[in-house]
Structure 1
Amino acid sequence: MTIEQGMAEIDEQAALWFSRRSSGRLSAAEEAEFAAWLAHSEQHAQAYADMQLLWDDCDQLARPDVPAAEPAPVTPLAPRRRAPTAWLALAATVLLAVGGLLGYQWRQLPQLELSASAGQHELRQLQLADGSELTLNLGSTVQVRYYRDRREVSLIAGEAYFSVAPDAERPFRVDAGAGRVEVVGTRFTVRRSLATLAVAVEQGHVAVQPGRDGLALQQLQPGDSLEIDYQQGALRRSQVPTAEVGSWRDGLLVFRDRPLGELAQELSRYRGRPVQLDGAGLAARRLSGSLDIHQPERFVQALPQLLPLELIEQADGVLLLRERK
């Protein structure tokens, strides 16, 4: 049984108990049975409280004014009596249907919802109510939504470091374009660019769903790094020292064997101006080194010493990296 199915069953039980107790005809033994059900778990108590709140809210809804009308002719009919048990069964059925539906909708409403961005020249840290922490890299944006049964973060752009508080009842999920990262409690980074997704794990266990046909679910442990190239339909796994995961939080980005095409996208974000490549072979060239994220121009100026390329500053602010001939 899934968590969703389990909560739906609890909601139905809460609706049935509410219907039976509203009739005022429970015996002492039934009241004891209800008390035992209520004390069985926090979920039972919360579901019954939700049902009471829902009933109170419905009772306070404004009734529409109905204009007076001439009474229609009435033909007397022989009185019919509905058996009390049939009426209670009907009421319970209605409450079960409404309670199940509204209980499901209740769980779909976020308990916490926020959007946050880091400026082009600042890192930003978010402290969440469950004890989890997010650090946004320069120029990064996230949307956070916490529900009763899950925690979700959408990485809209850039990169974020996640320190997730354990909660087996509410898994933590990061959506980054087509890819998805799922954890319970761990520390890791997720970086999203135009055509790639990268995940590196400092602590704990991370499951990465690439979201691309032909690419299987990846299970990552501490020190594992994964890069997904959506243009090529390929992924690449490697090992990194755990101390280097999220190193940019201290202002120094440490990278190993990174393709220049991907690095150029990060340089664009750190500079606040585009960095483009001119030359088919440049994007595939790989680099290792470090970058002061607050002074990216120093790294840019050193590139011609590391690779056979030249820098061309264009009038529109675009920095062109061209293969040296």
Structure 2
Amino acid sequence: MSETRLTEAQYDAITEAAAQWCMRVHEPDCTDREREAFAEWLNADPLHAFEYEAMLDIWDVSEHLQQPLPMAAGVVQKLPVARRKRWQTLAVAAAITLIAAPVAAYSGWQLGWVPSSYQRLQADTQLKTVTLPDGSEVELNLGTQLTFANYKDQRRVTLNKGEAFFKVSHDVTHPFFVRAGEGQVRVTGTQFNVWTYEDQVKVTLLEGSVLVTSNKRLSGEGLRLEPGMQARYKAGDYAPQINQTYANAQDLAWRNGKLVLDNLSLSDALPLINRYLDTPLVLADSATGKLRIGGVFNTQDIDRLVTSLPKVLPVYLSISQNGNPVINGQPQG
């Protein structure tokens, strides 16, 4: 933050500049010279970067909005069907107006343009439990990042990375959506877990029911899960894969700080392990990936699991040119 104490007008000017830069650099016709000017402005003062990060949050929120008919209070006009980026720019402008004008904020809420509340949540090295403004409760695993926005007609969570367990406050008229990867989960009131790693997503349902889609751009409500069911999908999947499961120690042990590997192949175990590592493990070959591992491990000390692998499996560790630890199978004599 800047050490100089700014007047309200000076601070507002920085906020407005951050908003204008946020909208401009997301336009396809933004020139290289403009991007250089933006970089100079961004590096000129830590407060500039701070305010720009806040505008990126608003930009992220705007991606969730549907294109409305009213452009502003008292003005009715249809938006062009094309130019999704143009609509997002308008949404950012509306959200910026929210900051500056309470009357406009109320109009934006009534139209479903802007949320009444917005939160960015993060758990780094400790588990975290948070009660959202709607009364829902969310538990965040280590290394998890998500955002919550409360709109007039829906509640919206974006799980940017990591894993979270949700206890959603029941409200049929105000559905709760969780965006994860390229898909989403729709609920009204239930308990479920969402795990993500790279482009993989796994949804485990404990209570109630949810609708899961693997691609939010496809039509249809998605596939319904009942308690004891699990959905998996990755980028490019047309529909989630559904299977019967149970709320067992393996799926939810993280809530107690544990990672349970129940006789899994290394290829299946690595995504679960790598979630907790700064530098992910890689396999030397597919044959090594077929080796199986089991045990209960502390999520705060997964590095110890890595170093112990040669003691429990016929493998040795090496370092790749990229700096990743590599699991290699021992040569067979």
Taking structure 2 as the reference length, the TM-score comes to 0.59
1:144 equivalent in structure 2: 148
Shift of the alpha carbon at 1:141? 0.3
- SS of the aligned residue for 1:294 comes to helix
Counting only pairs closer than 5 Å after superposition, residues 25-174 of structure 1 correspond to structure 2 as 106-119=111-124, 121-174=125-178
1:276 equivalent in structure 2: 282
Shift of the alpha carbon at 1:135? 0.9
For residues 212-249 of structure 1, give each alpha carbon's deviation from its aligned partner in whole angstroms, at most 9, with x where no partner exists.
Answer: 88x99322111212222437878543333325342211
Give 5+ residue unaligned stretches, structure 1.
1-7, 9-55, 59-101
Shift of the alpha carbon at 1:302? 4.4
| Residue type of the alignment partner of 2:157 | V
Give 5+ residue unaligned stretches, structure 2.
1-68, 70-101
- SS of the aligned residue for 1:242 comes to coil
Q: Is the 8 A contact 2:211 2:221 kept in 1?
A: no
2:329 equivalent in structure 1: 323
| Residue type of the alignment partner of 1:241 | Y
For residues 60-81 of structure 1, give each alpha carbon's deviation from its aligned partner in whole angstroms, at most 9, with x where no partner exists.
Answer: xxxxxxxxxxxxxxxxxxxxxx
Q: Is the 8 A contact 2:215 2:238 kept in 1?
A: no
For residues 31-83 of structure 1, give each alpha carbon's deviation from its aligned partner in whole angstroms, at most 9, with x where no partner exists.
Answer: xxxxxxxxxxxxxxxxxxxxxxxxx959xxxxxxxxxxxxxxxxxxxxxxxxx
| Residue type of the alignment partner of 2:215 | G
| Structure-2 change in CA distance of 1:144 and 1:294 (3 Å) | same
- 2:199 pairs with 1:192: no
**Structure with greater Cα Rg:** 1
- SS of the aligned residue for 1:300 comes to helix
| Residue type of the alignment partner of 1:312 | S
Q: Is the 8 A contact 2:215 2:237 kept in 1?
A: no
| Structure-2 change in CA distance of 1:57 and 1:116 (3 Å) | closer
Q: Is the 8 A contact 1:152 1:172 kept in 2?
A: yes
By relative contact order (CA 8 Å, sep 6+), the higher-ranking structure is: 1
Shift of the alpha carbon at 1:265? 3.3
1:309 equivalent in structure 2: 315
| Structure-2 change in CA distance of 1:218 and 1:311 (3 Å) | farther
| Residue type of the alignment partner of 1:220 | L
| Structure-2 change in CA distance of 1:57 and 1:317 (3 Å) | closer
Partners in 2 of 1:210 and 1:149 — Cα distance? 22
Partners in 1 of 2:232 and 2:240 — Cα distance? 6
- SS of the aligned residue for 2:286 comes to coil
| Residue type of the alignment partner of 2:204 | A
Partners in 2 of 1:305 and 1:230 — Cα distance? 36
- 2:293 pairs with 1:267: no
- 2:180 pairs with 1:176: yes
Shift of the alpha carbon at 1:305? 5.8
Shift of the alpha carbon at 1:258? 5.2
Size of the aligned set, in residue pairs, is 230
| Structure-2 change in CA distance of 1:282 and 1:165 (3 Å) | farther
- SS of the aligned residue for 2:174 comes to coil
Partners in 1 of 2:234 and 2:205 — Cα distance? 18
- SS of the aligned residue for 1:263 comes to helix
The worse-fitting range, judged by mean Cα deviation, of 283-292 and 186-195 is 283-292
Q: Is the 8 A contact 1:195 1:231 kept in 2?
A: no
RMSD after superposition: 3.6
| Structure-2 change in CA distance of 1:125 and 1:157 (3 Å) | same
2:247 equivalent in structure 1: 242
| Structure-2 change in CA distance of 1:104 and 1:113 (3 Å) | closer
Partners in 1 of 2:265 and 2:187 — Cα distance? 28
2:229 equivalent in structure 1: 224
- SS of the aligned residue for 1:108 comes to coil
Q: Percent identity?
A: 29
Shift of the alpha carbon at 1:156? 0.3
Q: Is the 8 A contact 2:214 2:238 kept in 1?
A: no
| Residue type of the alignment partner of 1:202 | L
Partners in 1 of 2:285 and 2:221 — Cα distance? 32
Partners in 2 of 1:153 and 1:265 — Cα distance? 23
Partners in 2 of 1:257 and 1:193 — Cα distance? 20
Shift of the alpha carbon at 1:107? 2.0
Shift of the alpha carbon at 1:266? 3.5
Taking structure 1 as the reference length, the TM-score comes to 0.60
| Residue type of the alignment partner of 2:116 | Q
Partners in 1 of 2:292 and 2:208 — Cα distance? 29
The worse-fitting range, judged by mean Cα deviation, of 307-316 and 169-178 is 307-316
